[in-house]
Structure 1
Amino acid sequence: MGTYISRRDDTDPDEGKNEYGDVEFADPTNNKYPIDTEEHVRAAWSYINKASNAAKYDPDEVDAIKGRIKRAATTFDIEISED
């Protein structure tokens, strides 16, 4: 998924780096939704599927974020449901 994710005005990318360190994020522009552990992948999927969180992105950006989370889920043998 090569979709570029725009920089959001309501978040500080440094917060994600400070909280999680140098890890992979499903939203690497804003350092949101870390996907480096099984727990983080599950949480990322849960959060991006909340309407209030997804509404902060364009539909293509949400698709890109979900795609990155799904790919990370395969690493941890997590089954992802669209529901």
Structure 2
Amino acid sequence: MATQKIHERDDVSPTEGEHKYGDVQFADPTNKKYPIDTPEHVRAAWSYINHEKNADKYQPGEVEQIKARIRKAAKQHGVDIETD
């Protein structure tokens, strides 16, 4: 899968995510959404991106990129997540 830059969303402020979580890795680095730096954040990110109302804010290819990043982080942190 070729990665493309995730579009900037009008409904979020990237500085808010950075302020809230600090300088961490995000599954959506453009908008600083879905932090994936701890097992707890990985689980939460997976849960949130799998809610239709959250996924609908992205293009299908972007959702797959975000999910791929979360899956990779889950593996690194030893977190079991349900795959769809």
Please tell me the TM-score bracket, short chain as reference: over 0.9
Instruction: Give the Cα–Cα distance (whole angstroms) in 2 for the partners of residues 5 and 54 of structure 1.
Output: 13
Q: How many residues align?
A: 83
Instruction: Give the Cα–Cα distance (whole angstroms) in 1 for the partners of residues 65 and 4 of structure 2.
Output: 6
Structure 1 ranges of 4+ moved more than 2 A: none
Q: Where does 1:3-82 land on structure 2 (aligned, <5 Å)?
A: 3-82=4-83
Instruction: Give the Cα–Cα distance (whole angstroms) in 1 for the partners of residues 4 and 43 of structure 2.
Output: 22
- Structure 2 unaligned segments of length 5 or more: list them: none
- Structure 1 unaligned segments of length 5 or more: list them: none
Identity %: 59
CA displacement at 1:3 relative to structure 2: 2.5
TM-score by length of 2: 0.94
Instruction: Give the Cα–Cα distance (whole angstroms) in 1 for the partners of residues 77 and 11 of structure 2.
Output: 31
Give the aligned CA root-mean-square deviation in angstroms.
1.0
TM-score by length of 1: 0.95
